[in-house]
Structure 1
Amino acid sequence: MKTLVNFRDIGGIKTQDGKEVVTGKLFRSGEIVKLSEADKKEFTDTYGIKTIIDFRGEQEVSERPDDSIPGVSYVNIDIMRDSKGNTASFDDLVAVKESSKEQMEKIYYDMITTESGRHGYKEFLETIVKDDEPIIFHCFAGKDRTGLGAALVLGVLGVSEDEIKRDYLKTNEQRREANAQIVAELRAKGMTEEQLEEILVMMTVDLSYLEVARDAITENYGSLEDYVYNGLGVEPSVIAKLKQLYLK
């Protein structure tokens, strides 16, 4: 889809025990805003997507609401509600005053540890097992809130860390053109090259951010399993259903 940035199926990846994540069921992307009519048709007719899960906050959703697509339900889960001024929204990313890398590390730590992050990812896992129909999840750029959501699902399904990183890093290639356009627009508004370099850091992903999330899980909860069951409070039946629906 030409007007949906950072769109991809997270299926087709092998797990460590020889199974495979099913294709055509779980998709990820950036914001679903101002899609072409052709892409809207492809969204439903080709991919059969029935549910949109939007990880953005109230202000983001209000300013740039997702397109309304006939036959597609919408769920909003504000992952970063409790991270004031540190939300991974576009406005917060470009307004950052400190090191961009330090800001991104704070974002990933908060996504794992705040109440809104834990409650949000719990609701996410519970939502994607309700129906056996294709689902798409996204945030603004489809890289941080969405990237961690994808890493969480793939990790629970038994995908190796290397494969999770491979999917995560695809964002940098798939957002290359969109990021270049953002930089060009901000340059035209008078931002310095130094400022633009920092913003470009904020608009790309880095494996060190995933490591911050992994370390936060280890330090605060123990293992990924402990995080899911104890940190998020997800019932074992949800994880069993997740594996039933998304593994083959």
Structure 2
Amino acid sequence: MAPIRRAISTSVLALALAMPVVSGTAQASPAVHPAHPASSTVAAQRVLAVPGTVNARDVGGYRTYDGKSTRWGVLYRAETLSKLPPEGVGALAGLGLGSVIDLRTAPEAQADGADRLPAGVTSVVQPVDDTSLFAFIGMVVRSKDPVYQEQQLGGGKAEARMDALYRAFVTNAANRAALGAAIRVVANAKEPTLFHCSSGKDRTGVLADTILRAVGVPAGTSEGDYLLSNQLRAASDAALKSQIKAAGLMQDPDLLDPLLQVRGSYLDAFRAQAVADYGSFGDFLSRGLGLDTLTLLKLRLRLVG
């Protein structure tokens, strides 16, 4: 199979296959992040113009229950930063980051490479387990067997695997420890912070959801931030599936959709598991993630103004 050239985004699937992605129009024309956008800022305005990414954005501008808003320019979320061109690293430098939290597992980071960060930015590694999703996707796609692929991904099996992944963010003690540690980094930061996983949608999505809800952003608003990944990743994922089919790896690459997309049911599974195990979201924060009252107060003061 001829090598496939790298463009601007890497998905979990591309990592699993060690396969670069040609995305064509996948950049989706993100606007340059304004220093002080209006409260009515639309989704396109919160997207960071960081070459080498399609799902990098600011989590500022979300209204809280008490009528305040999360601050712009304090906390960012993204996908892997391991393939940024020099201009992408330069764009990151313009954010004034103090630290970048990497949620990828060691196999992911080894396959994809270390983050490319501006000088002086601290890398904080807090791996959150992907329940072998990384290896599973590669195994299924590399099989080139449409019957096997249907057996593994069809009939709701892919969705069930994602449901299990999201529940494991809660049930796995190491995952809870990593998420709690990441939140403490954000709460105690003196400079802007960015966090990411591979595609910037699942682990990054649940961490963003937890942080936003912890500082008083309504659950529905937070879910909107989570679902924005589908819009931002749509073109690059479509290009990836097209390449997979053209390479003869899958006859029906749409079977991958449940793994490439985020869905409200996945986030619901994470939230439901947190309540089932700890009784309430507040108790999940305190007993599940080990966040004390002072840390949560610091987080609120840091992010809401």
Give the TM-score normalised by structure 2.
Answer: 0.76
Spell out the pairing of 1:162-181 with structure 2 (5 A cutoff). 162-181=220-239
Aligned counterpart for 1:224 among listed residues 267, 281, 285: 281
SS of corresponding position for 2:52: coil
Please state how far the C-alpha of 1:94 moved relative to its aligned partner.
4.4
Q: Report the counterpart of residue 208 of structure 2 in structure 1.
A: 150
Partner residue in 1 for 2:109 = 61
Alignment check: 8 A CA contact 2:100 2:123 kept: yes
Among all aligned residue pairs of Structure 1 and Structure 2, give the percentage whose two residues are the same amino acid: 27
Larger Rg computed on CA atoms: 2
Establish whether residue 205 from structure 1 lines up as the match of residue 267 from structure 2. Answer: no
Aligned to 2:144: none
SS in 1 for 2:120: coil
Question: What SS does the aligned partner of 1:155 have?
Answer: helix
Other structure's SS at 1:120 match: helix
Partners of 2:205 and 2:104 in 1: how far apart? 13
Q: 1:139 aligns with which of 197, 211, 214?
A: 197
- Which residue of the partner structure matches residue 41 of structure 1? 90
**Which of 177, 181, 184 pairs up with 1:123?**
181
Does the Cα contact within 8 Å between 2:188 and 2:299 map onto a contact in 1?
A: no
Distance in 2 between residues matched to 1:160 and 1:93, nearest whole Å = 34
1:30 is aligned to 2:79? yes
- Specify the alignment match of 2:70 in structure 1: 21
| Count of matched residue pairs | 241
Q: CA deviation at 1:235?
A: 1.5
User: How much is the aligned-residue C-alpha RMSD, in angstroms?
Assistant: 1.5
**Any residues of structure 2 matched to 1:227-242 within 5 Å, and which?**
227-242=284-299
Please give the per-residue CA displacement for 1:3-47, whole angstroms capped at 9, x wherever unaligned. 1120110111000111110110110011002212222111112x1
Structure 1 unaligned residues grouped into runs of 5+: none
For 1:138 and 1:123, locate their aligned partners in 2 and report how far apart those are by CA, in whole Å: 14
Give the alignment's TM-score, normalised by structure 1. Answer: 0.92
Which of structure 1's runs of 4+ aligned residues deviate more than 3 A?
A: 91-96
Q: Is the 8 A contact 2:89 2:117 kept in 1?
A: no
Shift of 1:200: 2.2
Whether the 8 Å contact between 1:79 and 1:120 is mirrored in structure 2 is yes
